[in-house]
Chains A and B, each alone.
Chain A
Amino acid sequence: MFMIFGIPGPLLFGQLLLGLINGAFYAMLSLGLAVIFGLLNIINFAHGSLFMVGAFVAWMLLEYFGIGYWPSLILAPLIVGAFGLVLEKTIISRLYKLDHLYGLLLTFGLALIIEGLFRNYYGSSGMPYRIPSALQGAVNLGFMFMPIYRGWVVLAAAVMCLATWVVIEKTRIGATLRAATENAALVQAFGVNVPRLVTLTYAGGVALAAFAGVLAAPIYSVNPNMGSNFIIVVFAVVVIGGMGSILGSILTGFGLGILEGLCKVFYPQGSATVIFVVMVIVLLARPTGLFGKAA
Chain B
Amino acid sequence: MLGFPRAQGVALLILVAAIIFSPGVLYPVFLMKVLCFALFACAFNLLIGYVGLLSFGHAAFFGMGAYVTAWTAKNWGLWPEAAIVLGGLTGAGLGVVTGWIAIRRQGIYFAMITLALSQMVYFFTLQAPFTGGEDGIQQVPRGYLFGFLSLQSDMMMYWVTALIFIAGFLLIYRIVHSPFGQVLKAIRENEPRAISLGYRVDDYKLIAFVLSTFIAGIAGGTKSIVFGIATLTDVHWSMSGEVVLMTLLGGLGTIFGPVVGALIVTAMENYLAQFGAWVTVTQGVIFVACVLAFRRGVVGEIGAKLKLAL
* 0/1 string, A253-295, CB within 8 A of B gives 1: 0000000000000000100110011011001100100000001
Minimal beta-carbon separation of B106 from chain A (angstroms): 7
Interface readout for B107-118 with A: 1 if CB under 8 Å, 0 if not? Answer: 111011101110
Residues of chain A touching chain B, judged by Cβ–Cβ distance below 8 Å, are: 37, 43, 91, 94-95, 98, 100-102, 104-106, 108-117, 119-120, 228, 232-233, 235-236, 238-239, 269, 272-273, 276-277, 279-280, 283-284, 287, 295
Tell me, rounded to whole Å, the shortest Cβ–Cβ distance linking A234 to chain B: 10
Specify which of B116, B277, B279, B282 is in contact with A276 (CB 8 Å cutoff).
Answer: B116
Flag if A110 contacts B278 (CB, 8 Å): no
Quick one: given A239-B109, A273-B123, are A120 and B291 in contact (CB under 8 Å)? no
User: B265-285, CB under 8 A of A: which get 1 and which 0?
Assistant: 000000000001111111111
Distance in angstroms between the alpha carbons of A273 and B127 in the assembled complex: 11
Q: Give CA–CA (A116, B107) in the complex, Å.
A: 27
**Which of B4-35 touch A at CB < 8 Å?**
none
Classify the interface of chain A: helix, strand, loop or mixed.
helix
The 6 closest A-B pairs by CB, nearest first: A109-B287, A112-B284, A116-B280, A113-B284, A116-B281, A120-B277
B113 touching A279 by the CB < 8 A rule? Answer: yes
The distance from the CB of A100 to the nearest CB of chain B, in whole angstroms, is 5
A104 to B279, CA, bound (A): 20
Q: Choose among B104, B116, B124, B285 the residue that contacts A232 (Cβ–Cβ < 8 A).
A: B116
B113 touches A239 (CB 8 A): yes
Which of chain A's residues have a CB closer than 8 A to the CB of B108? Answer: 37, 43, 100-101, 104
Q: How far is the CA of A120 from the CA of B109 in the complex (A)?
A: 32
Chain A positions within 8 Å of B287 at CB level: 105-106, 108-110, 112
Q: Note all chain B residues with C-beta closer than 8 A to A228.
A: 237
In B197-218, the 8 Å CB interface with A consists of: none
B278 to A116, Cβ gap below 8 A? yes
CB atoms of A94 and B292 under 8 A apart: yes
Q: Are A283 and B104 in contact (CB under 8 A)?
A: yes
Contact: A236 with B281, CB < 8 Å? Answer: no
Instruction: Decide if A235 touches B112 in the complex (CB within 8 Å).
Output: yes
Give chain B residues whose Cβ lies under 8 Å from the Cβ of A98.
295
Residues of B within 8 A of A236 (CB): 112, 116, 119
Cα A37 to Cα B117 in complex, Å, equals 21
On whether the beta carbons of B281 and A117 are closer than 8 Å, the reply is yes
- Do A109 and B284 touch (CB < 8 A)? yes
Complex Cα spacing A127 to B113, Å = 32
Task: Let me know if B117 and A105 touch, CB within 8 A.
Answer: no
Q: Establish whether residues B123 and A119, one from each chain, have CB atoms under 8 Å apart when the complex forms.
A: no
B280 touches A108 (CB 8 A): no
Question: In the docked arrangement, what's the CA distance between A239 and B105, Å?
Answer: 10
B241 on the A face (CB < 8 A): yes
Whether the Cβ atoms of B281 and A113 lie closer than 8 Å is yes
Cβ-defined contact, B107 with A100, below 8 A: yes
CA distance A232 to B119 in the complex (A): 8
The closest CB in chain B to the CB of A281 belongs to B101
Most buried by A among B102, B117, B120, B124: B120
Q: Given known contacts A113-B284, A239-B113, A272-B127, what 11 new A-B pairs fall within 8 Å (CB)?
A: A91-B288, A105-B287, A109-B287, A116-B279, A116-B283, A120-B277, A235-B112, A236-B112, A269-B127, A273-B120, A273-B123
A-B contact pairs, 25 of them (CB 8 A): A43-B108, A95-B291, A100-B108, A101-B54, A101-B108, A106-B288, A106-B291, A109-B291, A113-B285, A115-B280, A116-B279, A116-B281, A116-B282, A119-B276, A120-B276, A120-B277, A232-B119, A233-B116, A235-B115, A269-B127, A273-B123, A276-B116, A283-B104, A283-B105, A284-B104
A115-B280, A117-B281, A287-B105 are known contacts. Are A105 and B291 too (CB-CB below 8 A)?
Answer: yes
Cross-chain contact A276 with B292 (CB below 8 angstroms): no
Q: Of B56, B278, B279, which is in contact with the most chain A CB atoms at under 10 Å from its CB? A: B56
Q: How far is the CA of A70 from the CA of B245 in the complex (A)?
A: 41
| Chain B residue at minimal CB-CB distance from A102 | B291
* CB closest chain-B residue, reference A123: B277
Select one of A119, A273, A284 contacting B280, CB under 8 A.
Answer: A119
A284 touches B101 (CB 8 A): yes
- A123 to chain B minimum Cβ distance, whole angstroms, is 9
Tell yes or no: B309 within 8 A of A by CB. Answer: no
A173 to B119, CA, bound (A): 38
